[in-house]
Amino acid sequence: MSSFGKTFHVEKRWKLVREMGSGAYGVVVSAADEISHETVAIKLVTRVFEKVQLAKRALREITLLRHFANHENITGLIDVDAISPDFQEIYIFMEPMEGLSSLEIDPEGFVTERWQPIYTKSSSLGRPLILRGESFRPSALTSYVSNLACTGMKYIHSASVIHRDLKPGNLLVNSDCELKICDFGLSRGFDATPDEHINGYLTEYVATRWYRAPEIMLAFR
């Protein structure tokens, strides 16, 4: 079926609902199973076998999602499929994260909800946020969400993995203030003596420019 500018080779029982995000190599949509009424997020990864590097990136993401599947602050993997006619695409089925692209405060002090999975960016505002009838000061909400992100990252690091592309767009926050970390395509494993391999995972170009860690920038001056 064709939707959101892409053709999805998925079983007919899946009804594509809305686009949740897109990038250079794919798109993520929410979908509903018309038989079980289950809702999932489907990530279409295109050109996956065009280059060895792209295939490794896809395999790495699937492997890590499976490994981290049971943590409450990391996106859960449901299934993987590769049913396109030319086998140049894969479909990663993940738990849905219908969330807010931002928490926007209108002149009356209420939040405007936009249903896309991105992030909260209102910490500098002094007015309270209203979420499902609960009132939060922006500073308290920012602290709460930051704590969830740190909890997820601590779990990732405990498995000797670094994300390498942590940014607001990869922190999914829904209207219940649940947070999950996503997109592990650039992640790498590391050992207890990282100095021997520093150039292997502190590669400057992999991290989105505006969110590169200071140690990455300083290592490549």
- pLDDT tens string, the chain, 221 residues long: the values are 655 667 888 888 999 998 887 776 778 899 999 999 999 999 999 888 888 988 888 999 999 999 998 899 999 999 999 876 777 889 999 988 765 443 443 444 443 443 333 333 333 334 444 444 455 566 777 788 889 999 999 999 999 998 888 888 888 888 777 899 998 888 888 775 555 455 555 555 556 777 776 766 666 66
Task: Give pLDDT, residue 72.
Answer: 93
Q: Range of 83's domain?
A: 2-94
Do 55 and 121 lie in one domain? The reply is no
End-to-end CA distance of the chain: 48
Question: CATH number of the domain that 125 lies in?
Answer: 1.10.510
Task: Give pLDDT, residue 175.
Answer: 72
Do 213 and 106 lie in one domain? The reply is yes
**How many C-beta atoms lie closer than 10 Å to residue 16's C-beta?**
17
Number of domains present in the structure of the chain: 2
Cβ within 8 Å of residue 133, ≥6 positions away: none
Do 85 and 107 lie in one domain? The reply is no
193 CB-contact burial (10 Å; exposed 0-12 / middle 13-18 / buried 19+): exposed
Do 173 and 142 lie in one domain? The reply is yes
Residue that terminates a domain, selected from 94, 120, 153: 94
Reading the block at residue 29, the tokens are: 């949509």
Contact 30, 1 (CB under 8 A): no
Residue that terminates a domain, selected from 61, 94, 127: 94
| Residues with catalytic function | 165
CA angle (4, 10, 14) in 5-degree steps: 80
- The closest alpha carbon to 167, from 138, 208, 201, belongs to 208
Reduce the DSSP state of residue 200 to 3 states and report it.
helix
Do 78 and 111 lie in one domain? The reply is no
b/e string for 73-93 if b means 16 or more Cβ within 10 A?
A: bbbbbbebeeebeeeebbbbb
Task: Give pLDDT, residue 88.
Answer: 81
Q: Which residues pair with 131 in a beta bridge?
A: 134
Cβ within 8 Å of residue 66, ≥6 positions away: 77
Do 176 and 190 lie in one domain? The reply is yes
Task: Give pLDDT, residue 128.
Answer: 45
Reduce the DSSP state of residue 215 to 3 states and report it.
helix
Question: CATH number of the domain that 58 lies in?
Answer: 3.30.200.20
Task: Give pLDDT, residue 204.
Answer: 54
Do 110 and 67 lie in one domain? The reply is no
Task: Give pLDDT, residue 79.
Answer: 93
Do 26 and 58 lie in one domain? The reply is yes
Do 179 and 132 lie in one domain? The reply is yes
Task: Give pLDDT, residue 31.
Answer: 92
The alpha helices in 68-197, defined as continuous H runs, are 138-158
Task: Give pLDDT, residue 47.
Answer: 86
Which letter does DSSP use for residue 174 in this model? B
Residue that terminates a domain, selected from 94, 129, 156: 94
Do 213 and 104 lie in one domain? The reply is yes
Reading the block at residue 200, the tokens are: 């292997």
Q: Rounded distance, CA 55 to CA 69, Å?
A: 21
Do 63 and 111 lie in one domain? The reply is no
Secondary element (H or E) of residue 22: strand 14-23
Do 184 and 211 lie in one domain? The reply is yes
